[in-house]
């Protein structure tokens, strides 16, 4: 299958053979597994201080018939403070007590990583790549592709050298991305407590620009909301299928498409 390579003026420069990876069957189950493994690998382990709630002199003596025994006192059998004062016999240490330890706190030694076979992860990557050229899957993600000239869209390598946001916008609008750029402008205020936790807004995911070498395009495109730029060596399943839903709209440079043939070797 041959696909056209466009110049920045919108003219067809030549036709190139499509990479073999685009012929892979779309396996949504594998894509979900790979995305889950990638997200788990990024999680930072966290946990409480092992001594939290345990730094106290509170203790329990339960022998019967001795002085200061805490049995037959008509009170719950738990560790209590013994020094004189207003905290005398106040419960501490146990989970149900004020300032006590947590019953089942998060532990820093918990392993968040999920295992996935190398071949399985590579198959998921090829599967996600294959989904990017299928119009029905791209449309189901919400992308506006009615005016876009071709899927996959391949541009000449001069696209990597653009250093101005304005110029990137002009090129994208020339290739029919006007509706898509309008769509990804939108952002909504998140429902729930996430608003207080540094993720107040929900934003749309726009096109992914895949390059072979950054010559200025990264800085130029990063200020357009929703657009991401990545080098072909750093492609991940999550970038190609955010939220494990395949069919992200992608823009390739000619050299990136050539490098793609050697991926996974």
What's the whole-number mean pLDDT along residues 194-210?
Answer: 94
Tell whether the model's pLDDT for residue 1 goes beyond 90. Answer: no
- Domains, the chain: 2-43+113-260 (3.40.1370.10), 45-111 (no CATH)
pLDDT digits (tens, 9 = 90+) for 217-255: 999 998 899 999 999 999 999 999 999 999 999 999 999
pLDDT band at residue 265, thresholds of 50, 70 and 90? low
Confidence at 91, pLDDT banded by 50, 70, 90: very high
Q: What is the pLDDT of residue 112?
A: 94
Residue-level pLDDT at 63 = 83
Please tell me the predicted confidence (pLDDT) of residue 150. 86
pLDDT category, 263, cuts 50, 70, 90? confident
pLDDT tens per residue across span 100-143 = 999 999 999 999 999 999 999 999 999 999 999 999 999 999 99
HEC readout, the chain = CEEEEECCCCCEEEEEECCHHHHCCCCHHHHHHHHHHHHHHHCCCCCCCCCCCCCCCCECCCCCCCCCCCCCCCCCCCCECCCCCCCCCCECCCCCCCCCCCCCCCCCCCCCCCCCCHHHHHHHHHHHHHHCCCHHHHHHCCCCCCCCCCCCEEECHHHHHCCCHHHHHHHHHHCCCHHHHHHCCCEEECCCHHHHCCCCEEECCCCEEEECCCCCHHHHHCCCCCCEEEEHHHCCHHHHCHHHCCCCCEEEEHHHHHHHCCCCC
Q: Identify the pLDDT of residue 67.
A: 77
Q: What is the mean pLDDT of the chain?
A: 92
pLDDT by residue (tens digit) across 6-26?
Answer: 999 888 988 888 877 888 999
Q: Average of pLDDT values for 193-198?
A: 94
Q: How far apart are CA 2 and CA 18, in angstroms?
A: 6
- Which of 8-29 are b and which e, b meaning 16 or more Cβ less than 10 Å from the residue's Cβ? beeeeeeeeebbebbebebbbe
Taking the model in full, what pTM does it have? 0.84
Mean pLDDT of 61-78: 84
pLDDT reported for residue 20: 78
List of long-range contacts for 51-54, beta carbons under 8 Å, 24+ apart: 52/101, 52/102, 52/105, 53/93, 53/99, 53/100, 53/101, 53/102, 54/93, 54/101
What pLDDT is attached to residue 93?
Answer: 96
């Amino acid at each position: 299958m041959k696909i056209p390579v466009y110049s920045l003026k919108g003219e067809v420069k030549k036709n190139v053979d499509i990479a073999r990876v685009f012929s892979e069957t779309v396996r949504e189950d594998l894509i979900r597994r790979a995305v889950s493994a990638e997200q788990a690998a990024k999680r930072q382990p966290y946990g409480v201080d092992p001594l939290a709630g345990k730094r106290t002199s509170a203790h329990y003596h339960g022998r019967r018939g001795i002085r200061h025994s805490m049995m037959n006192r008509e009170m719950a059998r738990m560790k209590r403070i013994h020094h004189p004062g207003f905290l005398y016999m106040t419960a501490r240490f146990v989970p149900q007590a004020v300032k006590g330890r947590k019953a089942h706190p998060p532990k820093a030694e918990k392993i968040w990583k999920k295992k996935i076979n190398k071949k399985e992860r590579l198959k998921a990557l090829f599967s996600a790549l294959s989904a990017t050229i299928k119009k029905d899957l791209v449309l189901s993600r919400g992308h506006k592709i009615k005016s876009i000239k071709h899927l996959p869209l391949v541009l000449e390598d001069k696209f990597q050298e653009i250093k101005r946001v304005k110029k990137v916008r002009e090129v994208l609008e020339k290739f029919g991305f006007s509706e898509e750029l309008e769509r990804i402008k939108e952002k909504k205020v998140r429902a729930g407590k996430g608003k207080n936790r540094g993720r107040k807004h929900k934003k749309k995911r726009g096109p992914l620009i895949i390059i072979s070498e950054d010559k200025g395009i990264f800085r130029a495109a990063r200020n357009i909301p929703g657009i991401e730029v990545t080098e072909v060596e750093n492609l991940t399943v999550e970038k190609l299928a955010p939220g494990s839903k395949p069919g992200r709209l992608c823009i390739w440079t000619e050299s990136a498409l050539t490098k793609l043939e050697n991926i996974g070797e």
